[in-house]
Amino acid sequence: MFNCFFLVGGCSSHKGKDKNPNIIYILTDDLGYGDVSVFNEQSKINTPNIDRLAAEGIQFTDAHTSSVVCTPRYGILTGRYNWRSTLKSGVLTGTSKALITRNRTTVAHLLQKNNSRCSTKK
């Protein structure tokens, strides 16, 4: 199972001129809807930080995918159906050719055009 929590909260842009939201994608694997305590107070997993992010932002809790391996991320980043990618079977490895071509518009490109900065920190 592939899950994506998509949270949006208000903040100012890096130049401080306009108000742009913070957008946080939290991608998980094998996490059920009721595993996070914000959606299930009886959850065996205590998730206070995710609960706080959910309380302060917008929660998108209904998502569907036509593939269960690798390509859902392609759809999240590009806004395209995964079957439009070159990956028709199997999974990508660390030595695979990039699935997203350099000229493909992504969410990061759209945000950057609107004076937002993107960061990928672990």
Strand partners, 2: 29
Rounded Cα gap, residues 103 and 113, in angstroms = 15
Ramachandran quadrant class, 99 (left: phi over 0; alpha: psi -120 to 50; beta: rest): alpha
Condensed to tens digits (0 to 9), the pLDDT of residues 87-115 reads 877 888 889 888 888 999 999 898 888 88
0.75 exceeded by pTM: no
Condensed to tens digits (0 to 9), the pLDDT of residues 36-76 reads 999 999 999 899 999 998 898 888 777 777 776 666 788 88
What amino acid is encoded at 5 in this protein?
F
- Number of residues in the chain: 122
SS3 for the chain is CEEEEEEEEEEECCCCCCEEEEEEEEEEECCCHHHCCCCCCCCCCCCHHHHHHHHHCEEECCCCCCCCCCHHHHHHHHCCCHHHCCCCCCCCCCCCCCCCCCCCCCHHHHHHHCCCCCCCCC
